[in-house]
Structure formats: C-alpha cells, structure tokens
Amino acid sequence: MRPHYEIAFLSVVLALSSALHAVLVHAQAPFDADAYREAKRVATETFLDRTKPKTVRVAAANGLRYPDDKTFAALLSVGNDRREDEEIRLLAFQRHRYDDEYIESVLKILATASDGGAILRAGLIDDVSQRTTFKLPPELRARIVTAFRARLTDRSPLVRLSAFRALVAAQDLQAVDLLVEALRRGRNLPIPKASAIALLDLDGPTKHIATVRPYLHDEDPQVQAQAAHVLSSDPDSRAELVRLATSTSTPELVRVAALRGLSREDESFETYAIALMRNPEETPDVRHQAMKTMAGRLNYEKSSPETQLRFAEAVRRLAEGPRLLGAKGLDVGEEAKKLLGNLRRSFPAVRKRYAQ
Amino acid sequence: MRSERAHRACVVRALLVLVALGSLTENARAHEAAAAKTVQTSLGALQRSDGETEHRVVARALDALRRLGPAARDAAPVLVELLSHDAALYQGRDKLGVLRLRAYVLLVLGEIGLPDAARPYLIDALAHVDERMHPVEVASAVRAAGRLGASGRDLVPYLLHLFRQRFGEEELTLTRYDAEVPKGEATTVQREIVRALSRMCSADDVDALALLERLAHGDAGSELDPRLEDEARAALAAIRTRGATLASRAPAEPAAPAPLATPWTVREARKPLRNLDIALVDHAGAAHVLSDLIDRPVLLTFFYSRCQNAGRCAATVAQLAALQRELGERGLVRSVRLVAVTFEPQFDTPERLRRFALDRGLALGPDALAVRLDVARHPKLVEELKTPVSYSAGWVNSHGIQAALIDAEGRVVRKYVTLLWDNRTVADDLQRLVQDSASR
C-alpha cells in the first residue's frame, strides 16, 4: 500500500474504533455500588418490619441478597417467632445461611407439633433436603432423617408430601415401604396416589413393577400416566402401553406418559411413533410428543440410516404441512423445522437426502 | 427320735427335689414339644411360600423361629434354601421385598444358629457390598456374622472393609421386620460391625483392634459417628476379657472353609446340558446358536449392564478380562472360549454388551463373547445351570456370582460359586480340559 493510503486507512480504523468504544461504554451502565447497597438496605428493613403488610414484606425478600451477620440474627429471630406469618417465617429461614443455628431451629420446629402450620413445615423439609445433599455428620443426618420420618404421618398432606419426597429421594426404606404397602392395599394412602407412584418411579422404576401394575387402568388419568411411565420397563405391560399410546380414546396425558416411557424401552418404538406423527387425525400435541420422544430415542440409541430417513421424512412433513398448534399454543411445525436442522447436522444420511 | 425326724425331713426334701426335677423335666419336655410344633408350623408356612405370598406372612413365620432362638435350629436347613437367589419365594416379587426377606432370613439364621451350608451366602453378602445396597441387607449380614463368634474370624476382613461405606451411618432396625424404626431400636451398619467385632475378635486381630482403639478414643476421623466411641470401648473390654478367659482353654476349631467351587466332575459322570440349542446374538450383532460356541472348553458366566453393584457384574466381567490375560500367557486363548451371558436379554442390546465388556477390559472376538440369549428360551438355561438369580417382570432383583466350566461336549464339569473365582484355578481347569481333549 502507498504511504498516504496507509495513513488514511489507519485513520479510518482509529476513528471507527473510537466510535465503537464510545458506543460500548454508553451501552454498559457502570455498576452503582451505592444504589445496590441502598436497595438491599431498604429491602432488608422492609422485610424485617413487622408493621408492613405481608405482600410487601414477601416482595422485599427477593432484595435481601446476601445478608450480613446482623441481618442473619434478625432473620433467625423472625423465623423462630410464632407470632409471625408462616410464609414470612419460611422466607426468613430460606434466606438464612446454613449453619448450626439454622438447622437447630428448623429441627426444633419440626419436632414441635404446635409450632407452625403446613406451609412452614413442608417448606422447611424441602429447604433442608435441598441444602443437605452433601455428606453430613452422621449424628446430624440421623436427626434430620428422624425428624423427617416423624412427619410421614403428619396431619397436613402438604407436610407428608414434602417428607416423603425428601426421604424417598434418599432411598429411605421406611418411607418407601410405607408407600409400597399403601399402594398394595389401595387405600389410606398418605399422599396422593399419583405422587406415590411418581416417587416409586424415582426410587427405581424396575423395583416396583408388581406394586404399580394394578394402577395402569386407574380411573384417574394422572395416576394412569404415572403408572404408564413406571411400567414402560415391564415387558408384561408392553402391549397394553402401546395400545394406550396409540389409541385416541386414551386421555392425552396418559398417551404422552406412555410414549415417553416406551421411547426409552421399546425397540419397535419407531413403527408406531412415526405412524402417529403422520396421522392427520391425531391431535397436534400427540404428534409433537411422538416426534419429541422419537428424537430422544435417536439421541441415545444407535439407529440405522433407514430409520433416520423415515423419521426425517415424517419430521419434514410436519414442518412443511398445515399449521398445527398444540393446546398451549405450541407451534408443532416450527419445532419440526428446528428438529430437521438438527437431524441434518447429526446424521449424514439425512444431510445427503435433505441438502439445503 | 431326733434322728428319725431328721431322717424323715431328708426323705421329704429328697422327694420334694425329685418332684421339682420331675416337674422341671416335664416343663422342659412341654417346652420342647411346643418349640418343635412352632418350628414345624413355621417351616410349613415357609415351604409353601412363593413370590405371591404376602411378605408379612413370611416374616411372621420367621419371627416365630426367631423367638425360639437356638431351639429352632432344626429349621436351619430350610432357611438356608431360602437364601438361594432363585428360591421360589423371590420369583416375581419386587426388588425391595426380595432384599428385605433375604436379609431377614439371614438375620434369623444368625439367631437360631448359622450352619456351614449358609456360609457361602454370608460371604456373598459381605464380600460383594456396594454403596448402593440397602443398609438393612448389609447390617443383617453383619449381625449374622457376629453371631458366629470366634468361628467367624475369617470374615473380619470383610467387616473392616465395610466400615467406611457411605451407608454406614444410616439408621435402621434389626429388632423387627418392619421398616419403621421405633425409638431406642435404631442401629447402623457401623454399630453392628463394632458389635460383631466384639464377639468375633481376639487379641490377635490387630487390624480390628486398631480400628476399635481409634473409635474408642474418638480419633478415627471426624466424619464418623461419635456414638461409636462407647460401642468401641465396650467391644475392646469384651475382647480383652475373653482373651484372658480363653487363655486357659483350647483354641476354638476354625470353621470349615466355605466351598468356592463344586468338585471336578469326572468325564463319565458329566451330564450334557439339555438347553444348548438356544439362539443368541453376540456383542457385534451376529446371530449364533449356543451349541455352536461350545466346540471347545468354555467358561460361561452371567452379568447384566444395569447391575448397580460394582462388586458383582462389573467385577465379574473385569475378572473375566484378567482370566483372558492369564490364558494368553499360557497360550490357551484360542483353545478355549469365554462366554458372558446377560441376565437381561430384553434390555442388553449388542451395543450395551459390547460397551460393558470393553469398558472392563475384555477383548471381544471369536474367543470371548458377550451375548444375549433368545428371550423366550433364556430362562431354560438359567434354570438348568441353577444360576443364582431372581427376577421380577424379567428384571433382575438379586443375583449371586457363578461361572460354569463346560467341556467341548457341552457338559458341566464344575462351577465356581460365591466369590469371584480364582483365575489361576480356572485357568488350570481349562488347561486340563484342553489337554484331556487333545489326548483323545
């Protein structure tokens, strides 16, 4: 380049970069520490002010950020104060750090029948079980488990549900046993049937097949759906699940659950999944679910190029066909378009057939 | 006169003693008869039970025996049969039910008197422990081991190894079958280990004593349960006391070692397997018939990719890989065949078989295969080989470890059971079979 062109070129570059810098600087507002601290102070004061309305205090809880020691002490005081509203007490504990004072206060509340209602107790069980996923000192773990086990027979269904969720997630034999026994009896369930089956699914779907089998034809579609998911790993239930998944008289909730489970377990899944995708008589949500679960199956299982192409063709038809909107406004065609792009990227056979 | 009175008093006292003794003897006989009746009734209930029997009905029968303690020792052989993974009691039962019942059978056996025939199952329970096992299974086995006292000393290394497993501090009860843990009944695996050590160990068990000393002084690690300190002190006191008392006694007879393999079956006594014409697919997706693979000596074992116990299936296939290397060193790789059959043919696709085997070091090919049998015929081979496994809806509930040595004519020569087999022993056996075939 000749020198004067180089100078001109450099000048343009410098001018452009200065302009860009100015734009960027104005686009990013600098962090205002004073404003942050002030907002936190106001939120803390509002939350701790017992004269303020509950809704205002609840809204202020989000602004507490990470409290200082003085605020932690105040939060503990609010949490332990029986005169306070349950929700406020729960928020106070949720915002408190996990330390000995926190856990001692929470265990005391859980052990005291007259302290706190269902919202507080269920919320504390959830909070503790989330915060204690790491290894605990054994004595403390035993105390927590004992406290939770005592709540398995709490009067409040909300508290019972929290306790079962926390304990089944830890594979507690007592909690799992209670659910299994109640489901076998079919009555006096401590938590809703659908939740009980969902928790046994969490414990391990192949561990509770015989217990869950009777519920595949429960009158409640929620229960049926949960049972369908568990029983996808039951060879004896396979034929029935396929029938439920492909029958238009089955509640949609159940069909979706059956498809999800079958996509994991059934080697012949593609035959009916693709047929569902192609069937214009089917609802958009069922066609979408068949597409989604089939895509999931291809993610995890090896598939032949023929299967990939059959599936891609079914996806293409959904992408290019008449507009299909699911019950919650989901645009099935748009989802299909995105999926087709992914299939092209993932499978050479599809890329070759549907080169853009 | 006085002497006559004294004489009469003596006679009366003697008569009273005789009557009392007679009455005691009568009571004892009645008690024994009642115990025998209870044992008979309970055994009848247990022998009639299968996978459909309500588990609490089974538990009640076991409780009746438990209450009798050593007086129920005649029930032991039946209970040992119930420890077998393929017992009818477990077939079709959910996994939780299986593990609880098996654990309770082992616990009760410990209390009525564990016979030698039960030892392989006890070792199986203690040696193949994984963190994902339920603590009640492990705790029951530990307590049963403790009941052996000094004759169970060979099991101490397993207990020491168990001590730091994750589930060690989970609370449970062994006082009853119910899962609910009433106040005052809670125990943990770690506590059971300390108590068992107190019954089994002597002053010579230096590793156990070292652990107990550290526990007693609270310096075994901050993550351990501080409540173990008292248990450990009591255990040390019991061992020291027993050591002093036993010093004057002859040492206890060591228990007969648990059989880890069946005896070698001579050629003339071997029976051909009936279920060899089973279709199968191998790790590469190639179809075969099982009989095609048995044209040379074969070691056949079972595993499944969903096995959550790293001490069982993963270790089994890894052991097979180590055996393969041993065979390589002896130049026997092409003369024998290693076949790993999945317990779950409906789930273990060729890709899963391949991955599982390769990840554990097994070099797959015509000499070593991972296979899945035809789903419908698979149970036939499992049954014929008396493979220790229980199923529910086609999914494995529990299983033991077993490998079968099969000659080139499709006949079982011996089985290696309970613990992972010793590769040198198996390699020796395979070599012997190869030489036998070559000499014909």
pLDDT, tens only, B190-237: 999 999 999 999 888 899 999 999 899 887 665 677 788 999 999 999
Question: Can you give the pLDDT at residue A10?
Answer: 55
Question: Can you give the pLDDT at residue B260?
Answer: 75
Enumerate residue ranges in chain A where pLDDT < 50: 1-3
Question: Can you give the pLDDT at residue B156?
Answer: 93
CA of B171 vs chain A CAs: smallest distance (Å): 7
Question: Can you give the pLDDT at residue B418?
Answer: 73
B392 interaction partners in chain A (CB closer than 8 Å): 206, 209-210
Q: Are A283 and A252 in contact (CB under 8 A)?
A: yes
Question: Can you give the pLDDT at residue A9?
Answer: 53
**Across the interface, which of B179, B225, B226 has its CB nearest the CB of A173?**
B179
Q: CA triplet A321, A323, A325: central angle to 5 degrees?
A: 135
What average pLDDT does the segment B274-291 reach? 95
Question: Can you give the pLDDT at residue B249?
Answer: 47
CA of B254 vs chain A CAs: smallest distance (Å): 36
Identify the contact set of chain B against chain A, taking CB-CB distances under 8 A. Answer: 92-97, 100, 134-136, 166, 168-172, 178-181, 186, 188, 190, 222-227, 306, 346-347, 349, 351, 392-395
**Per-residue confidence at B345, pLDDT binned at 50, 70, 90?**
very high
Q: Are A213 and A234 in contact (CB under 8 A)?
A: yes
Question: Can you give the pLDDT at residue B36?
Answer: 87
B349 interaction partners in chain A (CB closer than 8 Å): 267, 301-302
Question: Can you give the pLDDT at residue B250?
Answer: 46
Cβ neighbours of residue B405 under 8 Å, at least 6 residues apart? B297, B298, B299, B412, B413, B414, B415, B416, B426, B429, B430, B433
CB contact under 8 A, A207 and B166: no
CA pair distance B330, B319, nearest whole angstrom: 17
Question: Can you give the pLDDT at residue A215?
Answer: 96
Question: Can you give the pLDDT at residue B170?
Answer: 80
Percent of chain B having pLDDT more than 70? Answer: 94
CB contact under 8 A, B393 and A174: no
pLDDT, tens only, A131-168: 876 667 777 888 898 899 999 999 999 999 999 999 99
Element spanning B288, H or E: strand B287-289
CB contact under 8 A, B94 and A174: no
User: What are the C-alpha distances in Å from A291 to residues A84, A131, A269, A316, A347?
Assistant: 51, 37, 11, 11, 16
Q: Are A187 and A153 in contact (CB under 8 A)?
A: no
Asked if A259 has any chain B CB less than 8 Å from its own CB, the reply is no
A209 interaction partners in chain B (CB closer than 8 Å): 94, 392-393, 395
Local structure of A250: helix, strand or coil: coil
CA pair distance B111, B70, nearest whole angstrom: 7
Question: Can you give the pLDDT at residue A137?
Answer: 77
Question: Can you give the pLDDT at residue B251?
Answer: 47
CA pair distance B162, B131, nearest whole angstrom: 9
What average pLDDT does the segment B29-58 reach? 90
Q: Which of A227-236, A344-353, B3-12, B406-415 has the lowest mean pLDDT?
A: B3-12
CB contact under 8 A, A206 and B393: yes
Does the structure show a pLDDT above 70 at B1? no
**Please, which residues bridge with residue B412 across strands?**
B406
Question: Can you give the pLDDT at residue B268?
Answer: 87
**Per-residue confidence at B438, pLDDT binned at 50, 70, 90?**
confident
For the CA atoms of B89, B92, B95, B99, what is the dihedral angle to 10 degrees? Answer: 10
Does the structure show a pLDDT above 50 at B246? no
Asked if A320 has any chain B CB less than 8 Å from its own CB, the reply is no
A267 interaction partners in chain B (CB closer than 8 Å): 349
Asked if A204 has any chain B CB less than 8 Å from its own CB, the reply is yes
Question: Can you give the pLDDT at residue B244?
Answer: 55
Question: Can you give the pLDDT at residue A264?
Answer: 87
CB contact under 8 A, B94 and A180: yes
Q: Choose among A198, A179, A314, A211: nearest CA to B51.
A: A211
Question: Can you give the pLDDT at residue A134?
Answer: 61
CA of B189 vs chain A CAs: smallest distance (Å): 12
Work out the number of other CB atoms within 10 angstroms of the CB of residue A158: 16
